[in-house]
Amino acid sequence: MKIYDLAIAYSWEYDDDFIEEVQKIFHERGLSFLPISFENLNEVLDKIKNDEISLRFFLDRASDAEEEFVPLAKLIQEKKFFIINQYSNVEFAIDKATMHLEFITNGINTPFTIIISPYKEKKNIELTIEQLAKLGRPSIIKPANTTGGGIGVVLGAETLADVLKARQHLENDKYLLQEKIEPIEFDGKRFWFRSFYAFGKIIHCWWNDITHIYKEISSDEFEKYNFSEMNLIVQKIHEITNLEFFSTEIAFTKENKFIVIDYVNDQCDMRFQSKHYDGVPDNVIYEIINSMADFIRRNNQE
């Protein structure tokens, strides 16, 4: 039987560079790696079924988007291979309504939010004048469980009619109505961040919510602006979700508060900035890959 230290299932063409670098770094570090794409999916399924292949760790970047990968996900659960970001943990973490309440309970700052029931359950909603005033104009409307690419999100809601209309797009989903957060701007920087939790390592980047451009945070900047509180926030999110790999968005406001905006993204965009203007800084992706290798080596020895 061939045992692989890590397998990654992927279907997005823009993951090719990430997969290639994982393969290269794992080879350099003496770890075996199996990429699973549409091309070898059926072959891998058969070999796992017939006990010709075993996996120590598995990262699924495909079955949430492509039905063809669902049998693989089910088989890997049956075989009890270690799944990075267990499916039950992902299901819990991507429900924005649940995360909102968990964050509040655990002392993590969030935007003022009103959670409303699915349109299919309750056609009409009632909001007080006080609630609408606290939401402000414009506000944000987002579905609780539909994730990826901003699906169903309305960034500039102005009226109750906008809310009623938005709910009908995903009528089985709860919706969150949130105040629009504006970060401070200082030293020519917009204080909005994308933070990664990667297998025990926490990495923060400047991330402009308007342009979607990343920039690495230098150690000098981290000390100068005293960003250490963000480490505590991301660590706490890890403890709440039990995910090994995720990202979150954090803004720093004029009230001197770090506020978590986009709570948990379990499928992190790993496009290299050297090839995509709005991709993740190359050094950050390499840090993430090496941290994943450290995690696997550490857990292999236990």
Q: Left, alpha or beta for 231 (phi > 0: left; psi -120 to 50: alpha)?
A: alpha
Query: Who has greater pLDDT, 118 or 210?
Result: 210
> pLDDT band at 143, cuts 50/70/90?
confident
Domain 112-179 sits in CATH at: 3.30.1490.20
> pLDDT band at 2, cuts 50/70/90?
very high
What percentage of the chain carries pLDDT values higher than 90? 75
Query: Which CATH number applies to 2-84: 3.90.980, 3.40.50, 1.10.1740, 1.10.3210?
Result: 3.40.50
Mean pLDDT, residues 203-230 taken together = 96
pLDDT value at residue 128: 63
Could you give the C-alpha distances from 99 to 31, 90, 197, in angstroms and in order? Answer: 35, 11, 16
Mean pLDDT, residues 272-301 taken together = 95
**pTM above 0.85?**
yes
Task: Using alpha carbons, select from 79, 138, 71, 90 the residue that is nearest to residue 111.
Answer: 138
- Separation between Cα atoms, residue 4 and residue 54, nearest integer Å: 6
At residue 109, φ and ψ (nearest 5 deg) are -70, 135
> pLDDT band at 152, cuts 50/70/90?
very low
